[in-house]
Chains A and B, each alone.
Chain A
Amino acid sequence: MLRIESLRRDRFGPFDLALAPGEACAVTGPSGAGKSVFLRMVADLDPSEGRVSLDGVDRAAVPAPLWRRRVTYLAAEAGWWAETVAEHFPTGAPDRLAREREALRLPAEVFGWPVARLSTGERQRLALLRALAVNPRVLLLDEPTASLDPDSVRGAEAVIAGRRAAGLIVLLVSHDPAQVARLATRRLAVAGGKPA
């Protein structure tokens, strides 16, 4: 259970939300409404006040890096820090992730590719795979399929659905109402930095 209680920072919030394992909540609203800030606060990437807990464990009681491996934020334009794709994954992860890689329509050789050669869509799918590699309990997705073709979008949605069936909690920023309808069981509308 992910529990968010009066989470806020300067002009954002307060946000309250409780999500059970397997639930997916869409965060909707116009650009600049504070959707990304909300996700970043939940991941503790931006300073915030209020309480966030996972299965009754307050995040303040957990070292921040460990919290972020459980509650993992995936930015809309995630960064890359090494030359090749494989260097961004923990050792052994490529084998464990083989089925999800296939669902995302990425070839097995992709791990040997230099990051500079990747297309925007490949980067986005690999960033999702990279986030799944840490086996998070909660995944905070910021427009995860914005630059994907329809085929890849279905693949990404299938991967997310598969993880949800295993108990993953998902918070999803999406501008696509159809995608929200397909993926989300709950909805949080945000406007002007506050729940609308």
Chain B
Amino acid sequence: MTPSPGPLDLALGAGFVLLNAGLSAALGLGLARTMLVAACRLAAQLTLVGLVLRVVFGLGAPGPVVGIVAVMALAAAYEIGARQERPLRGPWRYALGGAVTAGATVVAVAVGLAALRPQPWWDPHALIPLAGIVLGSVMSGVAIGLNGFTGALRRERNAVEARLALGATRDEALAPLVRSAIRAGLIPVLNQMAAAGLVTLPGMMTGQILAGQNPQEAASAQILILFLLAGASGLGVTGAVYLAARRLTDARHRLRLERLG
């Protein structure tokens, strides 16, 4: 088993980031500061998360474990809202993507727990990484899908209104936009499935192998995970884009772009 990296080893990795920042400064990309801030944030966040998780793992009760997952879901909701170029106005900005992501994650995690059968079901060694990886994947799919849909709706406003004016229902008028936004939101997870193992070793599998697990077992766990990600992303992206299409129209089949920021 490979030992986990100590402070000196991490410093070696940090030097690599500094090199990158220096390169950015030299080329005038204007990313040096952003990169250093992101690197510091990453180090602080993960260290803190490691500490919190160790405490939660030690408590041996389901409440804190579920609590951690809930906090992760809230963070995902925030990220989705923050990534929208033209977000929905009001609480919808975070609530719509967040609720759909949480719902899709619950379904996928339930399937995952049924397959892995951890004892007890809330065993944090299973539940927390499972929920985290599913949330992350659904989150980026939903963010891309929503952003693509609202962007296309603003661009294609005249075309959509022309159809509505000629008597199309809102579902008919929006169908092409809904379809292409869902497709765009699912591309990352499709790429991830197709390229897994050939182009990259998925993160979870990398971690397991580095931690000394048998690569074959790591692979079958990874297959299960990717299936869960694909299913959850499909549910999440489709649900989010459909709900956004509802929110941006009304019962009289009018386009309501004023509900967009």
| A100 interfacial by beta-carbon distance below 8 Å | no
Write out the residue numbers on chain A whose beta carbons fall within 8 Å of the beta carbon of B168.
Answer: 65
Write out the residue numbers on chain A whose beta carbons fall within 8 Å of the beta carbon of B167.
Answer: 65-66, 68-69, 72, 134
| B35 interfacial by beta-carbon distance below 8 Å | no
Write out the residue numbers on chain B whose beta carbons fall within 8 Å of the beta carbon of A80.
Answer: 159, 162
**In contact, A81 and B165 (Cβ under 8 angstroms):** no
- List CB contacts (< 8 Å) of A126-155 with chain B: 127, 130-131, 134
**In contact, A75 and B250 (Cβ under 8 angstroms):** no
Write out the residue numbers on chain A whose beta carbons fall within 8 Å of the beta carbon of B169.
Answer: 65
Interface size, A (range): 20 to 34
**In contact, B176 and A74 (Cβ under 8 angstroms):** no
Write out the residue numbers on chain B whose beta carbons fall within 8 Å of the beta carbon of A127.
Answer: 162
Q: How far is the CB of A60 from chain B (nearest CB, A)?
A: 9
7 A–B contacts, CB within 8 A, in A order? A45-B161, A68-B166, A75-B162, A79-B156, A79-B160, A81-B160, A130-B166
7 cross-chain pairs, A with B, having the tightest CB-CB distances, nearest first: A79-B158, A69-B167, A79-B159, A79-B162, A81-B159, A64-B252, A64-B253
A residues lining the B interface (CB < 8 Å):
43-47, 64-66, 68-69, 72-75, 77-81, 127, 130-131, 134
Sample of 16 further A-B pairs with CB below 8 A, known A64-B252, A66-B167, A69-B167: A43-B165, A65-B167, A68-B167, A68-B253, A72-B165, A72-B167, A73-B165, A75-B165, A78-B165, A79-B163, A81-B156, A81-B160, A127-B162, A130-B166, A131-B165, A134-B167
